[in-house]
Chains A and B, each alone.
Chain A
Amino acid sequence: MRRDVFQAIADPTRRAILSLIALQAMTPNALSEHFNSSRQAVSKHIKVLTECQLVNQVQSGREIYYHFNPETMKEVADWLEPFRQLWEDRFNQLDSVLDQLKSNQHEQ
């Protein structure tokens, strides 16, 4: 499921859609006005974004509004964290090695 999120945000149009609706919820018409592509093309992108829970569709009266779902993006940011922590640990160990090398140099 998380892989789908990455495929979803790899596409520049979908990233642009997310940036727009992150600012404010939008109707399909309002959204498609921002793009040169057809309303059908935009709605295909919306379908992908909805399927991986980056977008929620909310009915309000006769209109549908697209809402950005920040929880899913948070998952994307967290995806890097274990890998970053791995290198953080590695580099903290390196700090001790470097301190030792420097003090050896001073003794010589």
Chain B
Amino acid sequence: MSSNRKTQIVAQAGKQELFISRVFNAPPEVVFRAFSTPDLLEQFFAPAGTTVKFDVADFRSGGKYRYTQCDANGNALAAFSGVIHEVTSPERIIQTQEMEGLPQAGHVVLEAMHFERISDNQTKLTIHDVCMSVADRDAIIESGMASGLTAIFDQLDEVLNGI
């Protein structure tokens, strides 16, 4: 769990938006492909101790997607879906995202991903999320603690299995 702190998160207090950015050692075409190909997304997008599986993945302007996140035993933890507003290779993906099964539906996030060419072998990705309320934005950030817990619970399972 060593952190090399390459990822920048900007989330100002009282705002509905958040920014996630990171530089990758690959051209924009390659980074873009990773974010618009379900087989590749499934290889990196799942938080530690979980898997993600796409059952809808129509990555084009006007398309849609849906994926389910499962724990190590294959139990579904959450499903996320949205419509794709714009896919402009290799510059930009704009989409909506909603977590399914919340007590109240309608907590949608507008998400824009920008792939900026820094050099022929370097790309800066910026993900810009705009939420419907400050509370929604804060809940997304706090969900990071939940995924930390998932990893801890998995380790706990391993320990318990060893007893």
Contact = CB atoms under 8 A, between A and B. Distances in A.
Interface of A: 3, 6-7, 9-11, 76, 79-80, 82-98, 101-102, 105
13 contacts: A10-B13, A10-B14, A83-B142, A84-B5, A87-B20, A89-B48, A90-B46, A92-B4, A94-B34, A95-B25, A97-B44, A101-B26, A102-B30
Given A79-B141, A85-B3, A90 B33 contact: no
Interface residues of B, number: 36
Contacts of A10: 13-14, 134
A101 B33 contact: yes
Contacts of B20: 87
B11 A98 contact: no
Interface of A is mostly: helix
A85 B138 CA distance: 16
A84 B78 CA distance: 20
Contacts of B138: 3, 6
